[in-house]
Structure 1
Amino acid sequence: MGSPDPNGRQLDGLGGGISSLSKICVVGPPTRPGVDVEFTFVQVGVKNSDIDYSGNCGNLSSAVGPFAVDSGIFRPLKDSGDVSVRIFNTNTGKVIESTFPVCDGEAVAQGDFAIDGVAGTASKVKLDFMNPGGSKTGGMLPTGNVVDCMDGIRATCVDVGNPSVFVSAEELGIDGTILPDETQNMPRLLERLESIRQKATMMMGMADSPEEVPASIPKICFVSQRNSHMLLSGERLEADSVDVVVRAISVGQPHKALPITTSLSLAVAAKIPGSIVHQHARSGVENKEELVIGHPSGKLVVGAKLDDNGEVERATVYRTARRLMDGIAYWK
């Protein structure tokens, strides 16, 4: 991957110099019943040589099903049409159902589905995260509270897909619509958010000291109410088009969109009265089947279905994925 690289560029490897582009999936046949394929996600440090297995990646999860079909790990019963692959993620111990079209026994790459922040269009991949609550902590609300306080800032901790921490941009004294480059140039803010993240991690029972806190999870986000603002593309996001606005920090770096597993936690948090997300979201959002989230690159739609006991049955997102190459990566 080209790590460690003190310059943060990973020029001597396959990585792209940011946390979103320094990831690996190890995919293979299932070792347990009831699933078709299993995989382990690896977050690779950029400036350091850290190898983090603590959580999953939603975006890379979208590539596992098509890869399993194209590589022959999973052979669908039909050569053409929509197929579903049940995927077991070893990091979280959870199942993801991936549904996508195939043609002549291979995953279809071409399509007309577009994702904000991703150039072009492609075939749609539907991801249903089954019973995703408590992926790492055993509970949807790992601290047992809807709202906790760390460093004088109120926070909501949710574990759906991956553990996440949500705080209010207003309480931090910042504009909730700032873009990643602006956030990157605010070292004191990043230090404050990291301090809150570390304390939240310990409160969730994931670490006993700051030194034990994983780099990749939980993610921390600041949320704000709907507000028209400019995106990374230079286009304008209208307030009425979204339910809530969020900015995420991933492995110490401002994310240019929103990690998928974090969006699952956010969608569920929006349905919990009194949570930081619910307080900042559009009125009545807890009754909607889908949440429309505003992020630096545009919008993301996430579905979350809760049962009568308030437990998450499934969370749904739509992504794209295609094979870019086959080859050998040489390391030294």
Structure 2
Amino acid sequence: MTGQIRIPATYMRGGTSKGVFFRREDLPDDVEARDRLLLRVIGSPDPYGKQTDGMGGATSSTSKVVILAKSTRSAHDVDYLFGQVSIDSAFIDWSGNCGNLSAAVGPFAISNGLVGDVPADGLCTVRIWQANIAKTIIAHVPMTAGEVQETGDFELDGVTFPAAEIQLEFLDPAEDGDGGSMFPTGNLVDDLEVPGVGTLKATMINAGIPTIFVNSADIGYAGTELQDAINSDAEALARFEAIRAYGALRMGLIADLSEAAKRQHTPKVAFVAPPADYVASSGKAVAAGDIDLCVRALSMGKLHHAIMGTAAVAIGTAAAVPGTLVNLAAGGGERTSVRFGHPSGTLRVGAEAVQVDGQWQVKKALMSRSARVLMEGWVRVPVDLV
């Protein structure tokens, strides 16, 4: 028999997600050994889909890992690598960022000595290098008496309890990536042919995270659906996966449809609709007059219970560009912010778009989240994994 080893780790909530955070120095240098270890920590692969023998929560929002290190890049404090862990297969997708857990990076970095010149009180500005997509995120973390302030009265739909507000700036959020530009097809709206589904109007954008937007009405939905309406329908999930795969192909993210299965985290698929009254999953009434549009987004093959932070960046960016499906669902025209309804409530995100030499650019997207340490100490894994 072999024993177990202990690895320092912190279990954190960031936005509407939670994951296990590590310092890079505490993990194996070999990437394959590192990934085997992280899979075991989270409890994957689990054919039962529960992740009972690990730290994962059996949803895309709770099956995540983060690796942080003091940055060697100029004008940055911390390097941030995010992994989306598959629940039922031995696979970690490192192809994109998690905007929700981005809110927890600054607090972790401060508490673990990765940031210099930390103020005792007020806001600590943490410059984060997002290694998955090679972008900069700036987090403004509240401090009190030399410690990260975690409690507060900021409420975020999709999170049960209030906490301290953390403001995030996603700089130049349009990915270069494999697609090459913010709109990789060169169009604000495309006709996306999906065998077995039909030809759909689609806005395909690389901003925050590669995202495919379609109109709710075109796929038979109102745009006010909650999780059970989608996630209990196997045929609907298969249609969304087909849209995602063919959209990834058109965006240049994959070269062959077979590659989509190994790129589960990106792109995302979302469907949009004009504002409408509905009741959120918490029982909260959302009035059409309080939002600009309705958005529902899928992550790792399931409808998200709220909204992914990176998808919120994509929504805000697309809304700022006149003529996209997101912009049109919000009423069209120029705008610098948008408030949208999602299954758990509402969220506001800001972005300003400009045209340079005929190409759309967005220099910054902004939103507020919160974060909190849930537990810290060590995780244990069998010694034969390392």
User: Same-fold call, TM > 0.5?
Assistant: yes
The within-5 A match list for 1:1-332 is 1-136=42-177, 137-148=179-190, 149-151=192-194, 152-213=199-260, 214-284=263-333, 286-287=334-335, 289-307=336-354, 309=356, 310-332=360-382
Shift of 1:135: 4.8
- Gap runs ≥5 in structure 2: 1-41
Structure whose CA Rg is larger: 2
Provide the C-alpha distance between the structure 1 equivalents of 2:256 and 2:75, rounded to a whole number of angstroms: 37
Shift of 1:17: 0.4
Provide the C-alpha distance between the structure 2 equivalents of 1:279 and 1:207, rounded to a whole number of angstroms: 28
Q: Secondary structure at the match of 1:126?
A: strand
Shift of 1:78: 2.1
Q: Which moved more, 1:165-174 or 1:273-282?
A: 273-282
Shift of 1:37: 0.7
Provide the C-alpha distance between the structure 2 equivalents of 1:143 and 1:211, rounded to a whole number of angstroms: 21
Taking structure 1 as the reference length, the TM-score comes to 0.96
Structure with bigger RCO (C-alpha 8 Å, 6+ apart)? 2
Provide the C-alpha distance between the structure 2 equivalents of 1:31 and 1:181, rounded to a whole number of angstroms: 45
Provide the C-alpha distance between the structure 2 equivalents of 1:29 and 1:179, rounded to a whole number of angstroms: 40
- Gap runs ≥5 in structure 1: none
Provide the C-alpha distance between the structure 1 equivalents of 2:295 and 2:176, rounded to a whole number of angstroms: 22
Q: Secondary structure at the match of 1:65?
A: helix
C-alpha deviations, 1:228-250, integer Å up to 9, x for none?
01110122110011001011110
CA contact (8 A) 2:320 2:353 kept: no
Q: Secondary structure at the match of 1:328?
A: strand
Taking structure 2 as the reference length, the TM-score comes to 0.83
Give the share of equivalent positions with the same residue, in percent.
Answer: 38
CA contact (8 A) 2:320 2:337 kept: no
| Number of residue pairs the alignment of both structures matches | 330
Which residue identity does 2:140 align to in structure 1? T
CA contact (8 A) 2:321 2:353 kept: no
Q: Which has the higher strand share?
A: 2
